[in-house]
């Protein structure tokens, strides 16, 4: 057990999260991997990275967050999208924290062009500091849970590609979306293809509600969808 994985377990961290356009979910499962922005930009398949600018400079890494999605940036990404309105949050195996080359940033990694990204146990622990200064000063209150970074936008940059087998669940906003995604995946991949469990959790897509719940030490409701 590495020091980072040991501390993650002590903190009660159960997953990483990565959000993406739902239209690309079938492509991820069909190719068997999550790919970094550099690969997607050159791909002939037409799938583009969520963040076209990637100001953090880590073009070969997958942007993740701990336990819950960065709903603040998700809100911005959704506002820019004109055609594909459905999004999903991929829950990922937390052991990705242990991959060589994984970077940690206590706030949004794009700030300062990725200057806040670092590696190792100290960098991991910096995400849970009593006070973090990103776009604002964030402080931990007494109710702030051990598994939640101090800043909602803290990032884990995982070297890509990441195997689709690391996806432990697909989180959607509504039961209606769950039905739509199941239909899309069945049409694209066939009924016998690998498809992670699906979960409905609308509060994960609401930045203010999610932040309020997490900072109070409360976990949003997540309802599994029967296959």
Report the catalytic residues.
54, 155
Establish whether 104 is an annotated binding residue. no
What are the backbone dihedrals phi and psi of residue 169, each rounded to the nearest 5 degrees, phi first? -165, 155
Widest CA span in the chain: 50
- Strand locations in the chain, DSSP E? 16-21, 33-34, 61-66, 87-92, 103-105, 131-133, 137-139, 155-159, 162-163, 167-172, 198-200, 223-225
Establish whether 19 is an annotated binding residue. yes
Scanning the chain, the segments in alpha helix (DSSP H) are 3-11, 25-31, 37-42, 71-80, 121-126, 175-189, 207-215
Establish whether 20 is an annotated binding residue. yes
Asked if 153 contacts 36 with a C-beta cutoff of 8 angstroms, the reply is no
Helix/strand/coil for 87: strand
Nearest to 155 by CA among 91, 92, 110, 215: 110
Burial of 211 (0-12, 13-18, 19+ CB in 10 A): middle
**Binding site as annotated, residues for NAD(+):** 18-20, 54
**Binding site as annotated, residues:** 18-20, 54
């Amino acid at each position: 057990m590495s020091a980072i994985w040991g501390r993650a377990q002590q903190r009660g961290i159960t997953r990483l999260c990565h959000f993406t356009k739902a239209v690309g979910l079938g492509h991820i499962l069909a190719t068997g991997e999550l790919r970094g922005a550099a690969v997607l930009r050159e791909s002939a398949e037409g799938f583009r990275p969520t963040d076209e600018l990637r100001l953090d400079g880590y073009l070969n890494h997958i942007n993740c967050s701990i336990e819950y999605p960065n709903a603040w940036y998700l809100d911005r990404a959704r506002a820019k999208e004109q055609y594909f309105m459905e999004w999903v949050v991929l829950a990922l195996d937390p052991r990705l924290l242990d991959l060589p080359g994984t970077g940690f940033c206590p706030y949004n990694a794009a700030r300062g062009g990725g200057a806040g990204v670092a590696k190792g146990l100290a960098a991991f622990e910096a995400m849970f500091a009593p006070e973090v200064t990103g776009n604002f000063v964030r402080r931990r209150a007494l109710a702030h849970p051990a598994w939640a970074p101090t800043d909602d936008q803290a990032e884990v940059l995982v070297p890509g590609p990441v195997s689709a087998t690391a996806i432990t669940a697909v989180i959607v906003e509504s039961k209606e979306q769950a039905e739509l995604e199941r239909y899309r995946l069945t049409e694209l991949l066939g009924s016998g293809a690998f498809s992670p469990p699906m979960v409905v959790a609308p509060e994960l897509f609401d930045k203010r509600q999610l932040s309020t719940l997490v900072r109070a030490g409360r976990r949003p409701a997540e309802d599994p969808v029967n296959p």
